[in-house]
Amino acid sequence: MGKQFRINMILVGVGLGALYWLLETVFHVFIYRTGSFLEELVPSEPHDFIVRILTVSFLFFFGMFVENTINKRKQAEEKLNKSSERLSRFMNSATDNFLLFNSELDVIEINEAALKQLGLSKKEIIGKNILFITPNLKESGRYDKYVEVMKTGNPFFVDDIIHHPKFGDLHLALKAFKVGEGLGIIASDITERKAAEEALRASEEQYFMLFNNANELIQIVDPTGKILAVNKKWLKTLEYSQEEVINLQVFDIIRKDKLQQVGELMQKIKGGKNIKFETIFISKSGKEFIVEGNGNGIFKDGKFISMIGMFRDITERKKAEEEKTKIYNSIQTAIYIYDFVKSKNDYINPEYTKMLGWTLDDINKMGNKFTELFHPDDFKQVVKHMQIVSEATEDNTDILEYRFKHKNGQWRWCLSYDTPFQRKANGDVEKMIGSFIDITERKKLEDKLQKHERELAERVKELNCLYGISKLAERPGVTLDEMIQNALDIIQSSWQYPEATGVKIILDENEYKTENSDKLISKQTSYILIKEKRRGLVEVGYTENKPEKDEGPFLKEERKLIDAIAGQLGKMIDIKLLEEKLKYSAMHDPLTNLPNRRLFYDRMSVSMAHAQRYKKKLAVMMLDLDDFKKTNDVFGHNVGDKVLKIVAARLTGILRKNDTVSRIGGDELILLLPEIVVPSDAIAIAEKVLDSISKAITIDKQVLNITVSIGVVIYPKDGEEIKALIKKADIAMYRAKEMGRNRVELYAD
């Protein structure tokens, strides 16, 4: 309405301006000509004077009228200018685009925001038709809409995209309305809002995709337990259709003995807690699934409206853990698993209880008092050791000696080997697995040795010998052979006459000696004791005759020294043998003594690198004993274990020296055959495996006929990565089973 007023005022101003020009001209003519005019008014004859006076009066009052009219016109013009200025300020202060058009849709007014949006000056656009701004207006049908607005007076609203040559596509909210006989348009730029709406829509679509295609089982449940929504993984695992879910309560899929647990957890979730837990789901067909997951509440305005649960199927993992527990229980070394998150032990094996007297319940009931079982003098060292393991970025083993209180109150020395065992999603260590041996007796022997060492304090040379030998075991990666070989040189240089000293060390079937040890004229010996059993001896002597001393040519201190050396070596060899035993256990299957998955991967990595470098081939075979579960079910797991040992022995007997056979779990075995020439070489070996395993096995008077299905892949034809090759070998093996079992199948795409 303000714009109509402005247009009317402009028209009035034009009319008043024309009148003002006319009156001003008359007035000036009147003023400048007064003199001559009056002269003409003065009559030469007296009787005409009154008439002329009246004429002058009329002209005077007419001039007053003209002046008054001019003043009013100026006042109206000033009001019009002020109104125009206010309208201009209003339009230019607005962030939206304002445009005024006449009845021909030519631009008669535009604000600064619109000029900036269009990238034009006012001079360039005033007088231009609306088609100059939007050339495609008629094609879009909007031109006719604007004409209709001017005819009917009904406003028109629309969201539209303007293809601007400079600024690209602009998304505008347009409002068109009648102004006088013309048109007014307000255009709001909603490009950013539309982009935000599009981003929100895309985000919602992405959320739905993530929800529906997640590998976890996801469910949303209302406060009463009614299931509102589930994803594809949930439906597939629990064997329900989307239609069936509508009528389900969450308690319909929980095993009965877990209902109370789940009900209590739901109450905690309603209270705002984020709960992590394990439970058991039941599928439509009655199949049980052990699941692990998180439950979270969804709240609106502080009111609980639903809960979302995300679960992983850990059934197979639980079975594997049970299998591991059986293995750990069978090991004759103390084993424990410690949870850093819960700050407590998750597991200890029977050997742990046998060595220290404590059961898992005993230890966990102590709570924080568990730390009192560590000797006060060793506690800081234990804390530092635990910190090293918990912060380890690699699965390296950290070793520690410490004293631990037996249930009977005695302090026992333990030698512990701890390794990160399980990590969180972010890589932080969650659990560690440890093993230890009781070294109390060894420590007693060390105490005795230290007493001998104190007695030999005056003999710096001899002490250096013992120190040098003790440091040998600390060298990173040193082997037992290297350690003993280096000890020969240290011992040789520690006797009175190093140039004539010969040394020999015997350990079990192995003999280590200096070059001159077979030429000894006089010698002295001391036995190496490991766990109080003779395992070897140290022999030191001279290749030349030397003056008689306390014991022939030897000093009595040298008698004590050789005993100390034998004791030191016994202690070091004991530790080294234990380390090698633990390393062997870490790399081998405890039942069959075959390389485990970790060692197999190491060997396969080396073989693949060699094959790649020298352009050679290698083969990988996946073996699975046919119907082995039936063997276990019928004859028992003890017989099954014996079968696995016999199969392992047969495979080891027929393979080449450089081949590797590994047990990777259950009845699954995997073979690595490096440096094959053609695939038929691998097939020939596989046929030998079939023949060997198919021979009858007699156990406890029971005759068993075992067969095996074999899948074969060839590197590099079937892949160049370890996991890919093993997966394809597994596929080929299952193909062999499908084809009738007791056969070999090469992988084929």
Q: Indicate the pLDDT class of residue 10, thresholds 50, 70 and 90.
A: very low
pLDDT tens, position by position, 66-113: 567 667 667 666 665 565 566 566 566 667 888 899 999 999 988 888
Mean pLDDT of 324-341: 74
pLDDT of residue 334: 86
Q: Which CATH class is domain 443-583?
A: alpha beta
Mean pLDDT of 171-189: 86
How many Å apart are CA 690 and CA 623, to the nearest integer? 10
pLDDT at 19 over 80: no
Q: Indicate the pLDDT class of residue 6, thresholds 50, 70 and 90.
A: very low
pLDDT of residue 82: 61
How far, in Å, are 304, 626, 668, 739, 742 from residue 736 at the CA level? 55, 10, 14, 5, 8
- CATH number corresponding to 317-438: 3.30.450.20
The neighbouring-strand residues paired with 12 are: none
Q: Which CATH class is domain 94-194?
A: alpha beta
Whether residue 709 contacts residue 626, with contact meaning beta carbons closer than 8 Å, is answered with yes
pLDDT of residue 313: 92
Would you state the structure tokens that stand for residue 334, as one six-digit string?
A: 């103390």
pLDDT of residue 602: 93
pLDDT of residue 329: 56
pLDDT at 401 over 90: yes
* 94-194 and 589-746, same CATH topology: no
DSSP readout, 638-695?
HHHHHHHHHHHHHHHHHS-TT-EEEEEETTEEEEEEEEESSHHHHHHHHHHHHHHHHS
Element (H, E) at 166: none
Where in the chain are the domains? 2-92, 94-194, 214-313, 317-438, 443-583, 589-746
Mean pLDDT of 498-515: 92
pLDDT of residue 465: 83
pLDDT tens, position by position, 551-589: 678 877 777 888 888 888 888 888 888 887 888 888 899
Specify the CATH number for 214-313; select among 3.40.50.2300, 3.30.450.20, 3.90.245.10, 2.60.40.10: 3.30.450.20
- 8-state DSSP, 40: H
pLDDT of residue 52: 56
pLDDT of residue 61: 62
Tell me the percentage of the chain whose pLDDT exceeds 70: 81
Indicate the range of 138-152, 280-294, 468-482 predicted with least confidence: 468-482
Determine if the peptide bond prior to 43 is cis (ω within 30°): no
pLDDT of residue 18: 42
Highest mean pLDDT among 332-336, 448-452, 459-463, 546-550: 332-336
Mean pLDDT of the chain: 83
pLDDT at 520 over 80: yes
pLDDT of residue 137: 81
Would you state the structure tokens that stand for residue 74, as one six-digit string?
A: 């100026």
pLDDT at 690 over 90: yes
pLDDT of residue 190: 76
pLDDT tens, position by position, 414-455: 999 999 988 998 999 999 998 888 889 888 888 887 766 655
Mean pLDDT of 460-487: 83
pLDDT of residue 454: 53
pLDDT tens, position by position, 271-309: 888 889 999 999 999 999 999 999 998 888 888 989 999
Asked: is 589-746 a CATH 3.30.70.270 domain? The reply is yes
How many Å apart are CA 413 and CA 262, to the nearest integer? 45
pLDDT of residue 77: 61
pLDDT at 31 over 90: no
How far, in Å, are 44, 197, 199, 200 from residue 203 at the CA level? 105, 10, 6, 5
Q: How far is CA 697 from the centre of its chain?
A: 48
